[in-house]
Structure 1
Amino acid sequence: MPPDGALPDSALRAVGARGFGVYVHVPFCSSRCGYCDFNTYAPSDLPGWRTEGYADTVLAELELAARTLGTAPPVDTVFVGGGTPTLLPADDLARILAAVDKTWGLAPGAEVTTEANPETVTPESLRALRSAGYTRVSLGMQSVAPGVLRVLDRRHSPGRAAQAATEARAAGFDHVNLDLIYGTPGESPDDFAASLAAAIGAGVDHVSAYALIVEDGTRLAAKMRRGELPYPEDDVAADRYLAAEAALTAAGFDWYEVSNWATTPAGRCRHNLLYWSGGDWWGVGPGAHSHVGGVRWWNVKHPAAYAQRLAEGVSPGAGREVLSPDDQHTEDVMLRLRLATGLPLDVLDPAGRAAAERAAGDGLLEIDDGAAVLTLRGRLLADAVVRDLLT
């Protein structure tokens, strides 16, 4: 990674060809959830560290980004993720968004999302975020079952996420997402049905539902390794996914990506669609990843190292790679096939098109108007379908 973060001319010429977004990582959490392996830090992990100066550090990276990219397209989407972004004061989140606007300009109708843990927002903070220009809030609900929340080490009460979603809507957010996790050890079918009902009943326009993944190095993985908890079962996860599809479809949601449903096209997360369709974005913050014109890079992970580099006027990038045409093709197939719009068959080579025809014969794909679209059964086996199309 060059010390100044300079990008190849080929990348600079291509920036924004498929849209341009900004991701801002806020790595702080009140406590670490047992299943989480994201680059996050609880107070005990950062003795003496204060979050008050974090927004200024983010602004320093945005200044470096402006020097690196020069003229860039207006920003279509901004996504502030974590960690728990709403541990920062609403004023800091407003300053960060204003700095993004100052750096490149926000496109008309830009989507601006912040993630939030339900216990870290109030009606007042939500109104402040909406006034600052945030258009979408994504709340980590995970479940309404007390036992499931305990296994996941979640701090909020069973009903708090739905309440926070209602508060967000009252604050003027038209677009509100609730995240669910299914397949947690001890979760019953009734537990998950109750979580789906609560999410739907909250009046949100977007729901994400993900199978629990046990990541090495987490407390949850250690408990399973010691035999204190059973490992998730694939058949249970499949049953939960089918339950989510049935309940959400009946409530007026449509899937647009394997794990995401929205009530209208406007409710779809445009920032995630930018990722899935091969767009460009600058990732700000410790451990954040970026992609511009076929070049991917990632920042140093620790907040102190990140801040130190920026204080010295050096790029916080830890490393980068230039994606080969084969790399870009693999990612194109892997990501676009997950979308309800499907994968254009002309993206595939002859062997891939033959594999798509076989998958269609097996009921895993539908071939529609020159595109391969996963069936419901195909969504359950999406990774396997992708592998077949790429071999």
Structure 2
Amino acid sequence: MPSALPDGEPVPPDGALPASALDGAGTRPLGFYLHVPYCATRCGYCDFNTYTAGELRSADGARATQEGYADLVVEEVRLARKVLGDTDREVSTVFVGGGTPTLLPAADLGRMLRAVRDEFGLAPDAEVTTEANPESVDPEYLAELRGHGFDRISFGMQSAREHVLRVLDRRHTPGRPQRCVAEARAAGFRQVNLDLIYGTPGESDDDWRASLDAALGAAPDHVSAYALIVEEGTGLARRIHRGEVAPVDDDVHADRYLIAEETLTAAGLAWYEVSNWAVDAAARCRHNELYWTGADWWGAGPGAHSHVGGVRWWNVKHPAAYAQRLDAGRSPGAGREVLTDEERRTERVLLELRLADGCPLDLLTPTGAAAAGRAVADGLLEPVPFRAGRAVLTLRGRLLADAVVRDLVD
């Protein structure tokens, strides 16, 4: 969740949505994202809306701290029930992210999940995920999470090399994420993901291969591999500006992506989104698929983003401001935008093209369709799906996904 918030029109004090956003709501999947904005320390590359204990002054109030936080999320879930009305909508996915959600007691995460279940109900096959840092859990904690109904967990591994972890300011030791996978299995988690980052300054191709091999050795169901993006204002960006570490160019990122694709595919994982691989269709992250296919989700927590029926909004960033809004009986929404049909079409192209299933060609304008034809000739889109009416990226197209998308949405 990026820390910067866009501009937008005001959100009504009660959070009410336009009637158009609720039309047909009962026929659309609904997910919940629950943001936990706390971290033990700030990683040098992180640009997310997170806070360490030292960054939250006592003057911010107890409700802004970890101890009172679960109650706030419960309040926003109850607000969501009021805003979305009485339509019978079981929740198909819940994703608790951060920050480091597992800094909170497992009982608090369970209470937040229970609020979603009590207010909306969970679908019988609901996917319930939490993110976790490897150093923030142990077997007892994982067993308690599983007892509260979490069935999927995502560990931030990032790298298997200690010198790479130091550049990223990660606190766990090499080997700990792999042990976490085994502990999660023993606790009964149905699916386990490992997050990796490539392109860290000082990382070599051999370092990256070692990280992939270490991750695969733990036999996760799912691996996410993201290129390191150095955001302005982060500690890592300042180190690069001072010349303490060298920046990494796009060619290196491309090489590392190809290594990931080759290694993960050989191990039996298939890509289903540009940065995500799974052992089979059942292991895909269904919550993220809601985002990529433009479904409905409610994001609870400071800075969290939501989307329902073509209306997108985002909450105030700071935990204290978030608490003050809810304590006053007001929506924590900071701003929103009502998407036009053209904006929704464009977003579908932007997001669905990143999927292995691709996007329907009938989403494209005549100019975009012509660009798609050229992309097939250039080896950026697969020819067989194209003839069947879909735009699907080739491996080379995945390396140039942003450029392909720009051409197709023109």
Would the TM-score normalized by the shorter structure come out above 0.5?
A: yes
- Count of aligned residue pairs for this structure pair: 391
| Residue 82 of structure 1, aligned match among 72, 80, 98 | 98
| Residue 366 of structure 1, aligned match among 370, 379, 382 | 382
Write the distance in 1 (CA, Å) between the matches of 2:53 and 2:160: 26
Q: Which amino acid aligns with 1:380?
A: L
| Residue 13 of structure 1, aligned match among 3, 23, 39 | 23
Write the distance in 1 (CA, Å) between the matches of 2:356 and 2:170: 32
Equivalent in the alignment of 1:331: 347
Structure 1: tracts of 5 or more residues without a match: none
| Residue 51 of structure 1, aligned match among 53, 66, 71 | 66
2:150 aligns to what SS in structure 1?
A: coil
Equivalent in the alignment of 2:311: 295
Q: Is the 8 A contact 1:281 1:291 kept in 2?
A: yes
Write the distance in 2 (CA, Å) between the matches of 1:16 and 1:148: 47
Write the distance in 1 (CA, Å) between the matches of 2:25 and 2:174: 43
Instruction: Report 1:14-53 matches (<5 A).
Output: 14-15=24-25, 17-48=27-58, 49=62, 50-53=65-68
Equivalent in the alignment of 2:250: 234
Residues 77-111 of structure 1: CA distance to partner in whole angstroms, max 9, x if unpaired?
00000000000100111111111001111011000
2:23 aligns to what SS in structure 1?
A: helix
| Residue 134 of structure 2, aligned match among 93, 118, 122 | 118
Instruction: Report 1:70-149 matches (<5 A).
Output: 70-72=85-87, 73-149=89-165
TM-score, scaled to structure 2 = 0.94
Superposed structure 1 runs of 4+ greater than 3 Å apart? none
Equivalent in the alignment of 1:200: 216
| Residue 187 of structure 1, aligned match among 203, 211, 214 | 203
Q: Which amino acid aligns with 1:390?
A: V
Equivalent in the alignment of 1:65: 80
Q: Which amino acid aligns with 1:354?
A: A
Percent identical:
68
1:2 aligns to what SS in structure 2?
A: coil
Equivalent in the alignment of 2:396: 377
Write the distance in 2 (CA, Å) between the matches of 1:14 and 1:38: 33
| Two-structure CA RMSD over aligned residues (Å) | 0.9
Give the superposition deviation at 1:16: 5.2
Residues 263-306 of structure 1: CA distance to partner in whole angstroms, max 9, x if unpaired?
01110000000000000000000000000000000000000110
1:161 aligns to what SS in structure 2?
A: helix
Give the superposition deviation at 1:174: 2.1
2:349 aligns to what SS in structure 1?
A: helix
Write the distance in 1 (CA, Å) between the matches of 2:340 and 2:237: 34
TM-score, scaled to structure 1 = 0.99
Q: Which amino acid aligns with 1:271?
A: H
Give the superposition deviation at 1:17: 4.3
